[in-house]
Amino acid sequence: MVHGQIFDQHSSDNCFININVGGFKQRMEHTVLQRFPQTRLGRLLCCSSKEAILELCDDFSPSEMEYYFDRSPRFFCYVLHFYFTGKIHLVDGLCVMSFCQEIEYWGIKERHLDFCCSNKFHELMQCAEDKRWDQQSDEVQLDSLSTSIEDVSVMEESIEMFEGTWCADVRKQIWIRLENPGHSTSAKAMAITSLSVVLISIAAMCVHSMPDFHKVDVNDKDVESPVLTFFENLCVLFFTAEFILRLAVAPSARRFLCRPLNIIDLMSVMPFYVTVVCDILDDGDSTELEKVGKVVQILRLMRVFRILKLARHSTGLRSLGATLRHSSSEVGQLVLFLSVGISVFSTLIYFVERESEESELQTVPICWWWATISMTTVGYGDTFPVTLAGRVIGALCIICGLLIVALPITNIFNKFSKFYQKQKQSDK
């Protein structure tokens, strides 16, 4: 039977259409379906070929003029109710996501939900959305856990790499105690010693900045306190010995030097030796080495990298690093929102305050600075609006800053909490 004969037969009985949904058969009038022409059954009436029909149903019998759909016959009863009444109801016991998939298949919109089911539908959708967010958070947790498992597997693989190398047993025992503080009492003692030296170094750096410890020689040239110099040299020698020892007993020097924590260890001691070399080269008379003093000052400031050595012994710092690594999108959104807000409010405050002689907000860069400290709720008070309109804009700027900063913080905090818990479990 050709397509023309199919639709000739259809036209001979053009008042009804035969529907078979999972074995449930129903004969429906065209006038009922034509009330909703955008639905799947309504679109069947406009098909002019068998190919078009099969795009809307799963099978078609030309002899019986029956359209077959491989869908739930139970849900189709609710679809029939929709065609007769124009309203659809939620199906008891059916997942709300499955309900959305079914009405989407039949071409029924959410606005056709009856008022008695509309509120419940939105509550279930909100609950499903919350569960989806929780599932995504659990996936992040699993990623963090898998990372910890990978670290353990890398540790085991590193131990296996000692086989067949020089002094394998001795190096392996030292390596385990240096990398795993929970291995034994001696490993804990080594970790505590390393942590104590880091804290002493940080304390010495802080004390060195106090005016009471600044000394000058007969030529009014700054000289460092002998006591602080002693502690500084002692700490650097300890860090150097620890780094060399780790490198010597490491199963693979290349892998050792590529690890972030080891790079931080190297950066914390390198400025000291570079500074010593620069001091030796700078004899005070050569004009070519005048810039060496500035380089030395910069290198001395790089001692702040020793603070990062705490990450080796701090679960919180490692969790913070993992959180920032997995929250790049949230941090990017925060920076974007703040940039837009600063641009808008700095421009507004400039045009409002520029006519006032008492106001210091006379240039756009100064207004940028004001908008930055206002939106981040720092508020130094060095620059502030003096006009009424400027104060209104300032109040709006502060309120918008609070809202913008608060939006992504919750997600970042939740990730940090979960990373921290996982990291503590991994350490145990």
Domain boundary among the residues 55, 70, 85 is at 70
CA distance 26 to 168: 80
Q: How many CB atoms lie within 10 A of CB 81?
A: 14
Q: Is residue 149 part of a domain?
A: no
Location of structure tokens 């992040």: 140
Q: Residue 33 is part of which domain span?
A: 1-70
CA distance 43 to 22: 20
CA distance 419 to 416: 5
Q: What pLDDT was estimated at residue 148?
A: 43
Does one domain contain both 104 and 222?
A: no
Does one domain contain both 194 and 291?
A: yes
Q: Is residue 53 part of a domain?
A: yes
Q: Is residue 157 part of a domain?
A: no
Does one domain contain both 268 and 348?
A: no
Does one domain contain both 248 and 280?
A: yes
Q: Are 269 and 236 in contact (CB under 8 A)?
A: yes
Domain boundary among the residues 43, 70, 97 is at 70
Q: Are 398 and 375 in contact (CB under 8 A)?
A: yes
The torsion angles phi and psi of 118, rounded to 5 degrees, stand at -65, -50
Under DSSP, is residue 195 helix (H, G, I), strand (E, B) or coil? helix
CA distance 109 to 93: 20
Q: What pLDDT was estimated at residue 418?
A: 74
Helix axes 315-326, 328-353, angle to 10 degrees: 70
221's CB contacts (< 8 A; 6+ apart) are: none
CATH number, domain of 13, equals: 3.30.710.10
CA distance 108 to 85: 13
Q: What pLDDT was estimated at residue 306?
A: 61
pLDDT mean by block of 10 residues, the chain; 428 residues: 40 71 88 88 86 88 86 89 88 84 88 85 80 60 46 52 69 78 78 81 76 66 73 85 85 80 78 75 54 56 61 66 74 86 90 86 88 87 87 91 82 74 64
Q: Are 116 and 394 in contact (CB under 8 A)?
A: no
Q: In what order do the strands lie in the sheet with 59-61?
A: 24-29, 16-21, 66-69, 59-61
For 96, 134, 359, 410, the CA distances from 128, given in Å and listed in that order, are 8, 10, 53, 20
Does one domain contain both 423 and 345?
A: yes
**Structural domains counted in the chain:** 4
Q: Is residue 163 part of a domain?
A: no
Q: What pLDDT was estimated at residue 10?
A: 44
CA distance 186 to 320: 28
**pTM, rounded to two decimals:** 0.46
CA distance 333 to 329: 6
Q: Is residue 213 part of a domain?
A: yes
Angle (CA) 229-233-235 rounded to 5° is: 115
Q: What pLDDT was estimated at residue 7?
A: 42
Q: Is residue 152 part of a domain?
A: no
Does one domain contain both 175 and 95?
A: no
Domain boundary among the residues 70, 86, 108 is at 70
